[in-house]
Amino acid sequence: MLAALLKNPTYEQVCEKNTGHAESVQIYYNPAVISYAQLVEAFFYAHNPTELNYQGPDDGEDYRSAIFYRTPEEKTTVEAEIKKVNGTHHYDKPIVTEVVPYKVLYPAEVYHQGYYRLHPESGYIQAVSVPKVEKMRKAVPQLLKPEFAK
């Protein structure tokens, strides 16, 4: 895998599907407001974690479902949440999310930052992102700030 060799790849390089990188986000949160376990729960309802190497119209290793944990406790939490969600049979297939230690996150180019908020009328946002947001709003409304739960 080239991921260890290629530092700070561009979006275009990741899209070539030979870097080993996954598109991801880093979340900053206040544990007094929402717990890590609640964030993990929301993650599993915000996309389809049973799809290996694709999400909707996007395919390839760069679109795999993955969680990067920082501590053994976070890993345990993720594994427990996978077991819990699998037990609900919310999905027809088991979760295939990759659970791996965090190593490094390379920031996306500026034009990717806040894309959903900045481009609400984009065809991709309307066809792919909005349905995921609506799915999460229905699945875990109690985890969302009131202004986002609607």
Q: Is the pLDDT of residue 13 over 90?
A: no
Mean pLDDT (whole number) for 14-31: 84
| CATH number for the domain harbouring residue 81 | 3.30.1060.10
Q: Kindly state whether residue 99 falls inside one of the protein's structural domains.
A: yes
CB atoms within 10 A of CB 145: 8
Q: What is the DSSP-derived secondary structure letter of residue 143?
A: G
- Taking the CA atoms of residue 133, residue 62, residue 103 and residue 99 in that order, the dihedral angle to the nearest 10 degrees is 70
Domain that holds residue 80: 11-113
Q: Kindly state whether residue 69 falls inside one of the protein's structural domains.
A: yes
Mean pLDDT (whole number) for 59-80: 92
pLDDT at 137: 87
Domain count, the chain: 1
Q: Kindly state whether residue 88 falls inside one of the protein's structural domains.
A: yes
Q: Is the pLDDT of residue 1 over 60?
A: no
pTM: 0.82
Structure tokens at 90: 């919310």
Q: Kindly state whether residue 128 falls inside one of the protein's structural domains.
A: no
Q: Kindly state whether residue 22 falls inside one of the protein's structural domains.
A: yes
pLDDT tens column, 110-141: 888 888 899 999 998 999 889 888 888 888 88
Pairwise CA distance, residues 132 & 45, whole Å:
8
Residues contacting 82, CB < 8 A, separation 6+: 44, 95, 97, 99
pLDDT at 96: 96
